[in-house]
Amino acid sequence: MSQQIHTDQAPLFPLPFSQALRAGDFVYVSGQVGVDPQTREIVGDTIEEQTAQCLRNIEIILQAAGLTLDHVIKVNAFVSRPEDFAGYNRIYSEMFKQPYPARSSIQCGIGQYLVEIEAVAFAPSIRGEA
């Protein structure tokens, strides 16, 4: 059985998806983009600004589930432009502690957004701890 995770503090889009679902010990966070949670306006013009906001949006959703970025074990990221990978990696490595989550990052067209990130968190423990 799964349970919906929802918070008004994270961006809400008029699309058919949940912000996150808890299934057993796992929380699956839907893809988030670098937008202001209240206005849904894109935050900044750079990959660094949008990556940071995207991860903050994920963090807000995880907080609604009683978790943090330290619980994230898997990330899938979609980066719009190949030249943005260095900036994306810089912010990613600042916002996630080591050991880093397992990750897939691909370059693909995602419209007006520079990055979209989805995450899987494991509730019983923090990444890297026994």
Task: Render pLDDT for 74-130 as a digit per residue (tens, 0 to 9).
Answer: 999 999 999 999 999 999 999 999 999 999 999 999 999 999 999 999 999 998 886
What is the pTM (predicted TM-score) of this model? 0.95
Q: List pLDDT tens digits, range 24-73.
A: 999 999 999 999 999 999 999 999 999 999 999 999 999 999 999 999 99
CA distances from 14 to 2, 18, 85 (A): 21, 11, 29
CB atoms within 10 A of CB 23: 11
pLDDT at 129: 83
